[in-house]
Amino acid sequence: MAEIILAKYGEMALKGLNKNTFENILLKNIRRRLKSIGNFYISRAQSTIYIEPENEAADLDEAYVVLKRIFGISTLCRAAVAEKDFEAIVAQTMRYLDDELSYARTFKVEAKRADKRFSMKSPEICSELGGKILAAFPHLKVDVKNPDVIVTVEIRDTNAYIHSKKESGAGGLPVGTSGRAMLLLSGGIDSPVAGYMMAKRGIVISAIHFVSPPYTSERARMKVEQLCEKITDYCGDINFYCVPFTEIQETIRKECPEEYFTIIMRRLMVEIAQRIAEQDGSMALITGESVGQVASQTLEALVCTDTVCKMPIFRPVIGMDKTEIISIARKIDTYDISIQPYEDCCTVFTPKHPKVRPRLADIEAAEGRVDFSKMVTNSIQNTYKVTIKLKEC
């Protein structure tokens, strides 16, 4: 029996965006993701995308899993294909939904007649098909308010489609509809979640990671690349920049007051990230900071960090509790990688008593004794870039 996937995007998502751009980018993203699974015929009509396997090798189960992670799709369902003929629709409904209707106690039929040339109107399809279902499954009752099963029949241009279970998709906007931003990606729990959340708004993510060998190991860097690879499921390909940061950190340790180590380091990270973002075509930075989570994330500290940056810094998890962030990390499957215990350059020279409420003037004075500009240029020149490609299924 021919079976396909119907992926729908809500009209709500289109507000403020050009419909054509939205659809073209979404289609391109879907094609790109499904390419490694098999050959699918993909088309669109009336805010629905039709994904049809072209042959046996194109696995619909796998395609469904991948589609659940594509931003811009609000709901999706599997559907049986029937000829646009009422008897064919009845026969296909009985076959396709046999199991579900056998186990259900109540049902209702919903019909959508997009092709107005079809001879029966929607209410007629509902009552006629409902009658046939009642005759074939005499234990069933009709319940229009809260049925166990909703049998949906859609009459479209080329075919009729029958389905029952609609699931939520990933929501959001297709990645590529909202420009590009640079994610400061550590090996922790928060920053991959922050990247995911901005990608959900259609932003293409690039990622930057600071390393301080020998204080941070090769394994720690690999962990971050692994995290990047994981989020490609949602974000697509990621330009990944790895910045050597040892010289700067050692200089901070040698030359600056200990209580300001972290905040000075963060200001230099942001300065470098901004310069690389400009070269990369990114318009903003993204971090995984959340107010009050650690000493460097008090409001005062965040304000001191922001003054070195002309670009907006997005912090999508800023108002979230750790438990809320963790539940997203689990959902997107980054949690288990994030909790692997490798060091991050942020944790290498942590002061015993960091200044919790730093004042900008004091920080500038503390930094003033050192000229970091050459070190910053060095770090940028020695940055290594790689494109982390969407994982092949």
* Tokens describing residue 13: 């998502």
Residue matched to tokens 């910045």: 243
Nearer to ligand ATP, 186 or 239 (CB): 186
CB of 288 to Mg ion, least distance (A): 7
Contact pick of 188, 202, 244, 354 for Mg ion (by CB under 5 A): 188
Task: Sketch the per residue contact string, 224 through 263, with Mg ion: x for CB under 5 A, - otherwise.
Answer: ----------------------------------------
Nearer to Mg ion, 130 or 188 (CB): 188
Give the range of 119-127, 140-148, 186-194, 295-303 binding Mg ion by CB under 5 A.
186-194
CB of 348 to ligand ATP, least distance (A): 10
CB of 282 to ligand ATP, least distance (A): 14
d(Cα 178, Cα 73) in Å, to the nearest integer? 16
* Tokens describing residue 188: 């922790």
CB of 53 to ligand ATP, least distance (A): 39
CA distances from 351 to 112, 236, 293, 297, 393 (A): 64, 37, 16, 15, 44
Nearer to Mg ion, 164 or 186 (CB): 186
d(Cα 266, Cα 280) in Å, to the nearest integer? 20
Binding partner at 133 among Mg ion, ligand ATP, none, C-beta below 5 to 8 Å by kind:
none
d(Cα 120, Cα 111) in Å, to the nearest integer? 10
d(Cα 272, Cα 185) in Å, to the nearest integer? 13
CB of 208 to ligand ATP, least distance (A): 6
Binding partner at 96 among Mg ion, ligand ATP, none, C-beta below 5 to 8 Å by kind:
none
CA distances from 196 to 41, 68, 191, 315 (A): 28, 14, 9, 12
Nearer to ligand ATP, 183 or 366 (CB): 183
Closest residue to ligand ATP, judged by C-beta, is: 188
Residue 195 binds to Mg ion (criterion: CB under 5 A): no
CB of 210 to ligand ATP, least distance (A): 4
- Per CB under 6 A, residues contacting ligand ATP are 184-186, 188-191, 208-210, 287-289, 293-294, 296, 344-346
Burial 252-263, CB ≥16 within 10 A → b, else e = beeebeebbbbb
**Amino acid sitting at position 283:** M
The candidate with the shortest Cα–Cα distance to 172, out of 353, 27, 284, 9, is: 9
Q: Which residues contact 199 (CB under 8 A, 6 or more apart)?
A: 71, 172, 175, 205, 231, 234, 235
Binding partner at 189 among Mg ion, ligand ATP, none, C-beta below 5 to 8 Å by kind:
ligand ATP
Binding partner at 221 among Mg ion, ligand ATP, none, C-beta below 5 to 8 Å by kind:
none
* Tokens describing residue 28: 């391109």
d(Cα 242, Cα 44) in Å, to the nearest integer? 40
Binding partner at 164 among Mg ion, ligand ATP, none, C-beta below 5 to 8 Å by kind:
none
Binding partner at 174 among Mg ion, ligand ATP, none, C-beta below 5 to 8 Å by kind:
none
What residues make contact with Mg ion under the rule CB under 5 A? Answer: 186, 188
